Each structure stands twice: as C-alpha cells, then as structure tokens.
Structure 1
C-alpha cells in the first residue's frame, strides 16, 4: 500500500524485532532479580492521568486546596505549586506527575484534616454532605467520596476495550476492586455496568439493592467483575444513573467518556430526581491530555454536589508503584512483578520502538455474530475499505478480510491535523473542519482514507447550507467508488421546501444523469416540492428496482413524500417495516417522512416518536434534526404535555442555537412559562 505524505509507517522484519525485544527482557529480568529487595513485589495501580479542580463558589476560579508538599520527580516542584501553576495557566492539563502518591493521598483523604478539601472539587459545595459517624472515604482514580453507601456506575461499551495493553475496562475494574477493599462490613455498595442498558450486581439471595461490604460480598463482586466484557454502545447512561439514584446512596462514582453526551433534558431529569441527596462523582476516560472547556461530565458533577476527574487512557500501561496487591495485578492482566522490571521492560520497549518499526493503530469495530450489539475491536493497518469488504493487516503481520456488513466502525490512526478536524466537526465549526479536511485530502494517498475525508466534507457543506457543493462532492465520492461505505452521507432533501433557483438548476442536471443512480436520487429529492414532481415520481419508481438496495430503499422513502396526506394506517405500518429493515445509518430521513404522515393521521404520539428518532440517532443533518425536534415539541404541546415540550424547546435553544428553529423554540418557551406563572 502506498504511504501518506508524512511517512506514516515503515517496517523491519518481525523476527529481528522479536529477537531484540526478548533479549532485552532476559537482561532486564536478570538485573531485576538481583537488585529487587524481598517484599517489593506487591504493587498498586496508581491514579492515571488525573486532573482535579476545585472551584471557588464566589469567584468561579479554580484552585487547589492542599497542605502536603510532595515533590514531583522531574522538577523538584511541589505538588501544590504544580497544580497552582497549571490552573493559573488556563485550561486543565494532565497533572498526574504532580499529584501526591496514592498512599499519601488515601492517607490524607481518610482523615478529617486531609490535604484535599472534601466537598469542593468541581462541585457545588452547598450540596456536599457533612461526613457522619460510621462513614468512610474511598476513591476511584483519585476521585474521593465520603459516606457509608456507594454505587459504582461504569461504562462497559466497546470503547472500553483495547486489543493491545491493559484495557480501560480492566483498569476500571482494578480501581473498583481497590475501592471495595477499603470498605468495612458496615458499609454498603452496588455495582452497575452499562452499555445499551444497565447490568447490576445481583448476588444470590439478594434483589437489585445495596449489599453490605463483607468479605463474602466482596468475593462475589470480584467474580461479577470477571464476567463483565466490553461490548455495545453507551445509550444506557441515563437509565443506569437513574437506577443508581433509586438506591439512595451517599455517593455515585460515574465513569464514562464524553462521546454521545447526555442531553440537557437528561441532565435536568437526573438533577431533579436526585434533589441533592446523592453526590455524583464523575470520571472522564479519554486519550491524551484533557481537552479543557465544559462537558456533560463536569456539569453532572457540578449540579449534583460531586467531583470530577480525568483519566488519560494512553497511560494505563505505565503507572505502578510499590504498594499494590497481586489480586489487582491479576485482574488487570499483568504479572505482579517488581517496578524495576517494569521500568526496564518499558525502557526496552521504547528503545526498540524507533520510527523504523512504528506499529499501525487503525482500529476496526466488528459485529460479533448475528447480534450487532455484540462487538469486537481489532487493531492493525487498514489496507482497503470499499463498501463490499475491509482488508486489514493485523499487528501479527497477517492480512485478514472482513465483509462490509460486519464492519460497524473504522477508527483510523489520526494525525494532529485530523484530530483537530474531527474536533471542529464535533463542535459544529464546519468552516474550520472543512478547511482541515480539504487539506488532509490533498495530501492523502490511501483511497479508503480519502473516501472518509470526502464524506466528512459532504457533511460540512450540507450543514453550511451549500447544498449544490455538497451534492457535487458526494457524487465525486460515488464516482470514485459506487459501493462507498459512506453512502449515508448523501445530502438528500426530506422537508417540503422549495429549492433555490441555483439548487433547482443543479437538481435538474442531476436528474438527467441516468448513468449515476445516486445523482438521479439526489436530484429527485430536491425537486419533489416543485412543478417537476410528476417526472420525479416516475424516476423514483424506476430507482426502487435498482440492484443497489440502498438506492432502492431511499427512492421508495422519497416517493412516500407525495403520499404523506393520503397514506392509510396500513400504509404507515408498511413504511415502518421498510425503515426497520434498512441499514440503521439510512433511517433518519425516512423516519422524518413517517413522522409527517402520522401527524396528518392525527396520531401525535406515534408522530413524535418517529420524529424524535432523527435528532437522537441521525443528527448529522442538523437542519433536519432541528426541524424534527421542533415538530415533536409542537405535538407534545398540543396534547398538553407542556413539561416535555418545554424540555425539547430548551434542547433546541441550547444544542441547535445555530439553526433558525431555535428562535421560534425560545418564543414557545416564553409563552409556556408565562402560562405556567
């Protein structure tokens, strides 16, 4: 495969790397066995890449309240000085090197006058409860909580697994087990792992409630942890948190990444349900230094009297110190060996990890078996991905081929510029993202990677309202590969809007391109609301028979737009069956048509459910998502569900402030508030 312009990968013979690395390990082992004193083989996983902040209730400025002066290894700077300096510099940074050791930290946290002010680490101090008699302090990744009842709510989705090195899930299990070991028999706990739904620890003879932290329950909890695997998505966050709050604990430890965040409506629901009874501590998992700025995990902690911490998962493999248990090491999947050996092995790995043997870090998420909710992640180098199959060179050097229908997601190794582009896209800064993607595309030589970049450019053009350019760019994607795996990015029109003269001109040109079915489909969608509708419907009828099922299904859904006002209940049931049989990525637009039809049928509940699927699962087209969100809110308001309608209007004003629908939503909110008052 040709290399990219930045010289992304090179290789040396695998046998040579193996010989050199194994030789270094034997040397390291010999030196370690000779130098390591007896009794030092017990180790504890250190806090990994933690960032802790304390927010002053009056000024809003971040500070660190500490008494213990612990020198950092590199600079001689005290932990307090390093924290103060980093906070003064602005955005949060990775302060793992400046934190006190785990032993010092736990020791101080468990005293009444410890160096950390219990109750003010990124939380509303008015919500923090005063420690009571019989309570204790325990921590997860350095984020401490005080009480006698603790619930651990941890992410177990596919993103919590890595094919190389200790996985985030295993590291989380180590921390959870360590926290449980610190509890006494009079304390209570519960464990909830979640992906699409919560999965509770329910020992034999107990219901789904809190259990006492005696030795038998700790042993059963350890067995429960060993059964937990990383699979699925993270859509069960809200349900897991609400389940935890039902148990009325003193503290919830909530571990997650910030992808697919909880919405303002969900955060408010959790806050209202909690009513300040439980402190919710949040722990963010991500790769690299903290990004800074607000996110839903910080907000969740702040609004529920909790604390926030950050874990850099790229450092999970290298943080050890001299007090750990072999049980934790075994759970992590690491031998309980002395830190000297670990240091020498790590040095050997670095020594032989020169640029000439850089390992590919593309990750492919595959469906495991018929159930697409079960996932597996494979690391290596993607050689090709053309919509029919994905070809990958594994880290072992073996080449494997996977059918496209098994591929759920491709996570390519990203350069800093690519990471910046993706971050700009995520925050809806489409101008910046487009410029970066365009520059990356011009330098990229891998065909499959160029396809991904062009697909992201289409999304940017569409959300900037440049629909003509979005359409032409998508057709370039199809011209390069008719079976492109990014067909879901096709910028079709789904709303009954009259196109601009310029867009109509492009659409008529697309409609005449009989040799490119995607162009005909694209043109037909934009001309459905014009006088060209009769001709458009004829073209769509022929496209429904196309051999590409994606084209056929979307053509069928586009033709429904002409029948929204006249469709029967049987028709709508058939439409829903067609949608549910289609690939998940293609369902957004068709669901919006189904919602319009149910509205015409005076079925507001069914209409709202169909419309809400668009902003929840298909928000890449933000204009369509905002439109569907507003229409769903209107339907709820008409049926007297004013509180739910208010939440949707608020979500529009907060999450879709760049869309025209935000203005009417704000006015509806004002009207509803006036009526309520």
Structure 2
C-alpha cells in the first residue's frame, strides 16, 4: 500500500442485465408512439355531419327575420324518396302480363303523335315539323284512289276527299234536354253516309281531352269511307256521351296532324276562347296542311255573338261560319238553319 493513502474497502458494482435494458427501451418507445398517435387522432377527428342551411336575413322595421333554406343534401334525400315512391306506384299500377288494357285517351294521343302514317315521316309531340309538308295516306286506299266529293254538316258544305269532324262533347251539350248533342250526332251520321270508299274520314270528339275514333285493329289515323267502316263509325257516334269541360286547341291540332282537306268544327262553348296566338298557330298549320276549317256554333241566343272566336277561326282558314240557336232544335234532331256566313 503506498504511503499516505487511506485504506478503503472496495465494493464491486452490479451490472444490469442487457435484456432488462432492452425491455425498458422498448416500453419507452411504444409508450411514446402511442401518445403521439393518440394526439394525432384527436387533432384530425371530424365532427359528425350536421345539416347546414342558408339563412336569409330580412330586415324588418322592428326586428330581423331569418328564413332558413333547407340543406341541399336534405332536399336531395327528400327528392330521392319521392322518386322511389313514384317508381313504386307506377310498378304497382302496371297491369298484369297478358292483360289487354282498355283504350285510354293518353295512349291514343301518344300513338297519334309518335306513330308514322303511311307516306309520312311521323310526328313528335304537337309540333308537327317536317311531316307537315307531306300528306299521309289512308290505310290501304292512299291518295291514289281518292276522289273529291262534297258533304254537309248543318248546311255547311265542304269539298275534298279527306274529312275530319271535330265535335264538342262537353257537359254543356247535355243542356236543353240533350237536344244539342242529339242534333250533332244526327248531322254527323248524315254526313258520313254521303261518303264512299274513295273518301276518308276521322271523328274527334273532345271535352277536356280529344278522343279520335280508333276501331279495333286500327290506329288513330284517317279511315276509308267504305260501308263497313262507316257502319262502325255510326255505332261509335250513337254511343258517345257528353261530360267534362272544354279544351278546343288540342282537338283541332289533332285533326290538323292528319292533313285533311276539310275540318268541320262544332262547339257550344264561347269560354274558353281561342287566343290570338292559338288562332295564328292553327292558321299556320292549316296552311301547311292545305286544310279548310268550317266552324259551327251552338248557342241559346237569337243571333250569333259579334265577337265569336269561331267566326274568326273560319275566316282565317277559308271556311264558313254558322250559328244555330239550340232552343229551336227538335227532339228528333231537326233544326232551323239560322245565320250563315
């Protein structure tokens, strides 16, 4: 032992095992990583979707009034539910397979608008564009076998080979003991009987909607005037009833789509009137189709109204106008000619 040094007892140090240090280090690292991940999730967490609307502030003299516009997603959800309900309703209303549904007016209108007639380009909707410049044929007859003739309705004569009768069947035709409807039927049947297989015809009765004569096995088009077809048409006319309101324009446009030579238009309705715009459009279509329109008006006054739109309709389209006082009609359909222009 060197001099001056103090003697002391040496205590040996105890070494920590390496695996313990490894475990401690891994625990520290995993704990740190867990804390960092938890902090990140808390920082990026999004609140649940909440409906958002647009508030419109309207300043009032004594307060502000807030109007909340519904959220777009909410509106879309509502619209989606409505569409789903509509689809389900349509599916439920569909007839069973193999069932022959009765003729409905909407189907007739759609068929007339969409089904091309022989010799025509067809139509889409009411606005007959390119096909207005063509003349459709008539079943097996066609224009090659047609022959002009003259027929009459209430003393109004029309000459041609293609005739369309557009007659009012609204509820007002039941007035005065039903004599207006009865007289109209009788005159229509008389006119049909003057036709032959060399002429063609169509009958359009209308109220709120237009209903053409579509016999079984046929389509909504001009029909040959042979005896068998005229007999079926007479039965159709005899069975016609009157009800509902009145909508003139659709019935006249339906007739013009068939490109007749003559339209006999009969109504007892002064209201609703055809507007100036409607009259101009009808005139343009009639000119393209080469159609003359005769107008026959039923009324309960001694003289015809001075401002009758039917007078204007006939004048615009090269036809005659006649007014008939329904009070003078007989139960058997006899009538007094009244005023003629």
TM-score w.r.t. the length of structure 2 is 0.53
Is 1:313 aligned to residue 322 of structure 2? no
Q: 1:223 aligns with which of 228, 231, 235?
A: 235
Alignment partner, residue 408 of structure 1: none
CA shift for structure 1 position 227: 2.5
Q: 2:250 aligns with which of 231, 239, 252?
A: 239
How far apart, CA to CA, are the structure 2 residues paired with 1:223 and 1:240?
21
CA shift for structure 1 position 301: 0.6
How far apart, CA to CA, are the structure 2 residues paired with 1:291 and 1:254?
16
Matched position secondary structure for 1:137: strand
Alignment partner, residue 298 of structure 1: 311
CA shift for structure 1 position 185: 1.6
Dislocated runs of 4+, deviation >4 Å: none
Matched position secondary structure for 1:167: helix
Q: What is the CA RMSD across the aligned residues, in angstroms?
A: 1.9
Gaps of 5+ in 2: 1-145, 335-341
How far apart, CA to CA, are the structure 2 residues paired with 1:183 and 1:288?
33
Alignment partner, residue 211 of structure 1: 223
Is 1:262 aligned to residue 278 of structure 2? no
Matched position secondary structure for 2:182: helix
Alignment partner, residue 194 of structure 1: 206
Deviations 1:409-436 (A, max 9, x none): xxxxxxxxxxxxxxxxxxxxxxxxxxxx
Matched position secondary structure for 2:201: strand
Q: 2:190 aligns with which of 164, 178, 182?
A: 178
How far apart, CA to CA, are the structure 1 residues paired with 2:315 and 2:219?
31
How far apart, CA to CA, are the structure 2 residues paired with 1:292 and 1:313?
14
Work out whether residues 150 and 157 of structure 2, in 8 Å CA contact, stay in contact via their aligned partners in 1.
yes
How far apart, CA to CA, are the structure 2 residues paired with 1:248 and 1:240?
14
Gaps of 5+ in 1: 1-132, 319-328, 335-677
Alignment partner, residue 253 of structure 1: 264
How far apart, CA to CA, are the structure 1 residues paired with 2:151 and 2:200?
12
Deviations 1:556-582 (A, max 9, x none): xxxxxxxxxxxxxxxxxxxxxxxxxxx
How far apart, CA to CA, are the structure 1 residues paired with 2:175 and 2:251?
23
How far apart, CA to CA, are the structure 1 residues paired with 2:276 and 2:320?
19
1:253-402 pair list within 5 angstroms: 253-257=264-268, 258-275=270-287, 277-317=290-330
CA shift for structure 1 position 163: 6.0
How far apart, CA to CA, are the structure 2 residues paired with 1:291 and 1:308?
10
Deviations 1:490-518 (A, max 9, x none): xxxxxxxxxxxxxxxxxxxxxxxxxxxxx
TM-score w.r.t. the length of structure 1 is 0.27
The 10-residue stretch of structure 1 (172-181 or 304-313) with the greater mean CA deviation from structure 2: 304-313
Work out whether residues 196 and 227 of structure 2, in 8 Å CA contact, stay in contact via their aligned partners in 1.
no
Matched position secondary structure for 1:275: helix
Matched position secondary structure for 1:184: coil
CA shift for structure 1 position 292: 4.3
Is 1:139 aligned to residue 159 of structure 2? no
Matched position secondary structure for 1:139: strand
How far apart, CA to CA, are the structure 1 residues paired with 2:303 and 2:279?
22
Matched position secondary structure for 2:159: strand
1:463-478 pair list within 5 angstroms: none
CA shift for structure 1 position 134: 2.2
CA shift for structure 1 position 162: 2.7
Q: 1:149 aligns with which of 162, 177, 185?
A: 162
Deviations 1:282-304 (A, max 9, x none): 00100131234232101111111
> If you compute each CA radius of gyration, which structure gives the higher value, 1 or 2?
2
Structure richer in strand, relative to its length: 2
Larger RCO (alpha carbons 8 Å, 6+ apart): 2
1:423-462 pair list within 5 angstroms: none
How far apart, CA to CA, are the structure 2 residues paired with 1:151 and 1:208?
12
Alignment partner, residue 167 of structure 1: 179
How far apart, CA to CA, are the structure 1 residues paired with 2:259 and 2:271?
27
1:412-561 pair list within 5 angstroms: none
How far apart, CA to CA, are the structure 1 residues paired with 2:250 and 2:224?
24
Deviations 1:168-227 (A, max 9, x none): 111100000000011112110000000001011001121100001111111111111122
How far apart, CA to CA, are the structure 1 residues paired with 2:237 and 2:147?
27
CA shift for structure 1 position 265: 1.3
How far apart, CA to CA, are the structure 1 residues paired with 2:254 and 2:305?
30
Deviations 1:258-298 (A, max 9, x none): 22111111111111222261000000100131234232101
Matched position secondary structure for 1:190: strand
Matched position secondary structure for 2:279: helix
Alignment partner, residue 604 of structure 1: none
